Structure 1
Amino acid sequence: MQKREAGVLPPERRRALLEEAAAEFAESGYERASLNRIIRARGMSKSSFYHYFDSKEALFNAVVGDVGAALASTLDLPSPAELADGDFWARIRRLTARLAKAAKENPVFATLPKLFYLPDAPRSLARTRARIDDWIDGALEAGRSAGAVGDDLPASLQRELVRAVLWVMDEWSVANMDDLTETELDRLADAQLEAIRRLLAPSR
Structure 2
Amino acid sequence: MGSKAVLPPERRRELLGFAMEEFVRHGFGHASLNRIIRSCGMSKSSFYHYYESKEALFDAVVNGLTGELRDAVKVPDPDSLAVPGFWAEVTRMSDDLMGAAAVDCRLIDFWRLFYVPDAPAGDDGSLARVKRGIDDWLGRALAAGRAAGAVRDDLPPSLQGELTLATLWTINAWALRHLEETDIAEGQRLAHLQIDLLRGLLASR
Give the alignment's TM-score, normalised by structure 2. Answer: 0.87
User: What percent of counterpart residues are identical?
Assistant: 49
Structure 2: 5+ residue stretches without partners: none
The C-alpha deviation readout for 1:59-94, integer Å capped at 9, x for no partner, is 111111221232232221222222225732233223
Which letter does structure 2 place at the counterpart of 1:10? P
User: Where does 1:124-163 land on structure 2 (aligned, <5 Å)?
Assistant: 124=125, 125-163=127-165
Task: Give the Cα separation in 2 of the matches to 1:13 and 1:106.
Answer: 21
Match of 1:12 among 10, 13, 19: 10
Aligned residues: 201
What is residue 23 of structure 2 aligned with on the other side? 25
Task: Give the Cα separation in 2 of the matches to 1:87 and 1:42.
Answer: 49
Contact 2:18 2:36 in 1 (8 A): yes
Q: Give the SS at the match of 1:30.
A: helix
What is residue 69 of structure 2 aligned with on the other side? 71
Aligned-residue Cα RMSD (Å) equals 2.0
Task: Give the Cα separation in 1 of the matches to 2:100 and 2:41.
Answer: 28
Please state how far the C-alpha of 1:174 moved relative to its aligned partner. 1.9
Higher mean C-alpha deviation, range 163-172 or range 98-107: 98-107
Task: Give the Cα separation in 2 of the matches to 1:28 and 1:148.
Answer: 42
Task: Give the Cα separation in 1 of the matches to 2:54 and 2:189.
Answer: 36
Match of 1:105 among 103, 106, 111: 103
Q: Give the SS at the match of 2:30.
A: coil
Match of 1:58 among 53, 56, 59: 56
Contact 2:69 2:106 in 1 (8 A): no
Task: Give the Cα separation in 2 of the matches to 1:29 and 1:79.
Answer: 33
Task: Give the Cα separation in 2 of the matches to 1:85 and 1:52.
Answer: 48
Which letter does structure 2 place at the counterpart of 1:84? A
What is residue 89 of structure 1 aligned with on the other side? 87
- Are residue 194 (structure 1) and residue 196 (structure 2) matched? yes
Structure 1: 5+ residue stretches without partners: none
| Residues 91 and 13 (structure 1), Cα distance of their counterparts in 2 relative to 1, 3 Å cut | farther
Give the alignment's TM-score, normalised by structure 1. Answer: 0.87
Task: Give the Cα separation in 1 of the matches to 2:82 and 2:9.
Answer: 36
Q: Which runs of 4+ in 1 moved over 4 A?
A: none
Higher mean C-alpha deviation, range 64-73 or range 156-165: 64-73
